[in-house]
């Protein structure tokens, strides 16, 4: 295969820096043709009747993987260094890719081939990984419409193509609405209360445009400090209104996500019913740990009942503060973060700004690497690699004996042309070839932190440190796999409501005194985090945890209720209905939160946002194994327990179901006690 086109070079790391929009069409022409040839070969094997792993499954591996990897590079670049030219060619190719995979999923001959494998005598001798691949394939063919009559297959394919287009447009509308907003302020006095390092960032942002004063945007490193620290209530309200009306009817019509939401919902329900499900909510759970929407909603509402009293206490405290300290007649949404920060400082005698001075980026990363080396006996080695932006770094991972593990890219800072939020994705998966060669896995993590300025390192709020650990937990899940079959190695094949276990698990170490000194180095003095300040942080750990829990449950219940309703209710009305049920005060009438809820309308979390809470039960209970060992006198960073977690959960990928992985690690099924204890809701 020609490597003049960087998208067609699979010999090493992706050549991100060389990829241009004009490379996309020729690469996909070649890769789609190769994939279609592989499909025809597999069909001929079915016709011959000689259906075995080596004749039927293995031969198509390279073509399918290369298509997925190349398209993954294009999709990734569109999300982190988007340009009009790249977006145009990306959007133009979405139907081609969608149609190929839809037709593949509906291929009756391939479906028959996998069913034949499942019923064959050869199947009993397969490895666990290969058995799971065949079982998943049979399931996924059904879920792709392989059993539908031709007319319904065609309709299903049309729906799949349209959904791919609509969900992409949804995400792009949110990105554009976020990028296009800017507020310029001339006088520093209007930004009273905002931390000095944030002000310096605002000033630098204005200077890059040749302007004086300060530039404020809706990206988190800009928006959140205004909400937390700005004394000006009018400024907080102005930013809040701009943020919660993104991609709605209050902006340009071509960026209004409202009609897209209704069409996405309608098409999802229609596709689910074609497959024999009553709703999309039911279809979503066909590949998850949870069995039914009613089970999920029962789980969420049980947690909501437990969290509500704590949330009401938080609310009463904030309302009293607003009235007595600030003279506000009524607590508004743009007051919440500001007052919460004031109460935190008053109750616990520290501020987020004080804490941030200790979490310098180089020390946080070095401390994380040290932690992972202690837990899992692996090391990170920074290397030069082709990257998509100068800020991106690449690290090689190896076991302590020097044997290769994989690699990871880190893209940590917010910028224009980059989708908001934080996520992990795979670049390639682990695979062992017939000749014994092993393709090591590669992952990437993307965050939107504030970058350091004036030659100083970035300072991370503790919440950003937690976010980094979370995404690195996902990456380790992909990188530490020992499964040799690509389809179930790393994060591949893992149930969606279990995939957050390794990420949420890692967050716990951000709260351990044995770990925090190695993560901290004061920007001026160089000192590690002092124990008295840590004790204050720990005392405040569950500050307003009831409110945070109820907010996450609101998102989750909204998501599942929406995807259970036929026809769809007005999403703004549904959001308000759920808020009233949970006791959450209603926001202003102009609030259009659903119009930017990319997780469920553009990401993989549709009828699956509950996974964060579902997996939090698993992750808290998994971490309790370390706490139990610590209670017996062992260190919390326990290599013995870490080795078992690595071997029974992280190494196993999707070859074994998530519950079996958990039971193998803990020796029992998961229990909710640790989650309630960790979040302060156990009383």
Active-site residue set: 471
339 within 8 A of 324, measured Cβ to Cβ: no
Q: Is 609 helix (H, G, I), strand (E, B) or coil?
A: coil
674 within 8 A of 407, measured Cβ to Cβ: no
411 within 8 A of 447, measured Cβ to Cβ: yes
The encoded tokens of residue 363 equal 């020390």
Q: Where are the alpha helices (DSSP H) in 480-508?
A: 501-507
> Position of tokens 């979390």?
605
State how far the Cα of 13 lies from the Cα of 395, in Å rounded to an integer: 12
State how far the Cα of 31 lies from the Cα of 266, in Å rounded to an integer: 33
> Judging by DSSP bridges, how do beta strands 393-399 and 438-439 pair with one another?
unpaired
Q: What count of residues does the chain have?
A: 683
Interaxial angle between packed helices 21-48 and 84-105, expressed in degrees from 0 to 180 and rounded to the nearest 10 = 10
662-673 exposure pattern, b = at least 16 Cβ within 10 A, e = fewer:
beebbeeebebe
Q: Residues with Cβ < 8 Å from 207, sequence gap 6 or more? A: none
3-state secondary structure 110-148: HHHHHHHHHHCCHHHHCCHHHHHHHHHHHHHHHHCCCCC
State how far the Cα of 108 lies from the Cα of 327, in Å rounded to an integer: 69
102 within 8 A of 67, measured Cβ to Cβ: no
Between the two ends of the chain, the Cα-to-Cα distance in Å is 63
593 within 8 A of 248, measured Cβ to Cβ: no
516 within 8 A of 491, measured Cβ to Cβ: no
Give the residue among 518, 531, 526, 522 at the shortest CA–CA distance from 373: 518
By CB atoms closer than 10 A (0-12, 13-18, 19+), residue 23 is: buried
The CB density around residue 455, as the number of other CB atoms within 10 Å, is 5
Give the residue among 291, 354, 388, 366 at the shortest CA–CA distance from 15: 388
State how far the Cα of 31 lies from the Cα of 42, in Å rounded to an integer: 17
Give the residue among 450, 520, 494 at the shortest CA–CA distance from 650: 494
> Position of tokens 């034949």?
116
């Amino acid at each position: 295969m020609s490597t003049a086109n960087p998208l067609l070079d699979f010999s090493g790391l992706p050549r991100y820096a060389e990829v241009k929009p004009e490379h996309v069409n020729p690469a996909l022409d070649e890769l789609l043709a190769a994939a279609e040839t592989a499909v025809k070969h597999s069909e001929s094997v079915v016709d011959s009747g000689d259906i075995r792993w080596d004749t039927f499954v293995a031969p198509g591996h390279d073509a399918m993987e290369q298509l997925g990897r190349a398209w993954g590079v294009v999709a990734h670049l569109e999300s982190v260094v988007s340009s009009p030219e790249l977006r145009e060619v990306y959007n133009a190719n979405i139907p081609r890719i969608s149609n190929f995979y839809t037709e593949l999923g509906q291929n009756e001959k391939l479906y028959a081939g996998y069913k034949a494998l499942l019923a064959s005598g050869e199947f009993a001798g397969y490895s666990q990984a290969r058995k799971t691949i065949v079982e998943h394939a049979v399931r996924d063919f059904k879920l792709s419409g392989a059993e539908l009559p031709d007319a319904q297959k065609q309709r299903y394919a049309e729906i799949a193509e349209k959904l791919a287009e609509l969900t992409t447009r949804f995400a792009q509308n949110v990105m554009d609405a976020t990028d296009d907003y800017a507020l310029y302020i001339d006088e520093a006095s209007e930004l009273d209360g905002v931390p000095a390092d944030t002000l310096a960032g605002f000033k630098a942002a204005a200077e890059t445009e040749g302007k004086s004063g300060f530039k404020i945007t809706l990206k988190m490193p800009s928006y959140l400090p205004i909400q937390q620290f700005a004394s000006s209530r009018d400024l907080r309200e102005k930013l809040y209104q701009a943020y919660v009306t993104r991609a709605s009817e209050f902006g340009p019509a071509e960026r209004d996500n409202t009609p897209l939401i209704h069409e996405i919902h309608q098409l999802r329900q229609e596709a689910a019913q074609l497959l024999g499900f009553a709703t999309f909510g039911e279809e979503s759970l066909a590949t998850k740990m949870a069995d039914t929407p009613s089970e999920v909603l029962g789980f969420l509402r049980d947690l909501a009942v437990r969290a509500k009293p704590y949330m009401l206490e938080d609310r009463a405290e904030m309302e009293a503060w607003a009235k007595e300290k600030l003279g506000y007649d009524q607590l508004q949404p743009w007051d919440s973060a500001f007052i919460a920060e004031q109460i935190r400082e008053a109750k616990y005698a520290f501020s987020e700004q004080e804490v941030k001075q200790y979490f310098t980026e180089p020390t946080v990363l070095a401390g994380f690497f040290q932690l992972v080396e202690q837990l899992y006996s692996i090391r990170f080695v920074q290397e030069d690699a082709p990257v998509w932006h100068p800020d991106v770094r690449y690290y090689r991972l190896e076991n302590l004996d020097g044997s290769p593990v994989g690699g990871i890219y880190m893209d940590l800072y917010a910028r224009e042309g980059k989708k908001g939020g934080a996520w992990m994705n795979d670049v390639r998966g682990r695979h062992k070839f017939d000749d014994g060669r092993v393709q090591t896995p590669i992952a990437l993590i993307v965050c939107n932190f504030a970058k350091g300025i004036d030659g100083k390192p970035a300072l991370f709020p503790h919440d950003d440190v937690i976010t980094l650990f979370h995404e690195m937990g996902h990456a380790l899940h992909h990188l530490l796999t020992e499964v040799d079959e690509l389809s179930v190695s790393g994060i591949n094949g893992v149930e969606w409501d279990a995939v957050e276990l390794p990420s949420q698990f890692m967050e716990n170490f951000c709260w351990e005194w044995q770990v925090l000194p190695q993560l901290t180095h004061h920007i001026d003095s160089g000192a590690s985090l002092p124990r008295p300040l840590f004790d204050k942080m720990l005392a405040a750990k569950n500050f307003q945890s009831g409110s945070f829990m109820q907010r996450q449950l609101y998102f989750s219940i909204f998501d599942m209720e929406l995807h259970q309703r036929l026809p769809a209710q007005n999403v703004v009305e549904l959001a308000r209905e759920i808020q009233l049920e949970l006791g959450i005060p209603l926001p202003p009438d102009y609030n259009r939160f659903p119009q930017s809820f990319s997780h469920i309308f553009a990401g993989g979390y549709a009828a699956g946002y509950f996974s964060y809470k579902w997996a939090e039960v698993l992750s808290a209970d998994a971490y309790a194994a370390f706490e139990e060992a610590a209670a017996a006198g062992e260190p919390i960073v326990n290599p013995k327990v870490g080795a078992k977690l690595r071997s029974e959960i992280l190494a196993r990928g999707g070859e074994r179901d998530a519950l079996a992985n958990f039971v193998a690690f803990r020796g029992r099924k998961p229990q909710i006690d640790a989650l309630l204890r960790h979040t302060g809701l156990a009383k």
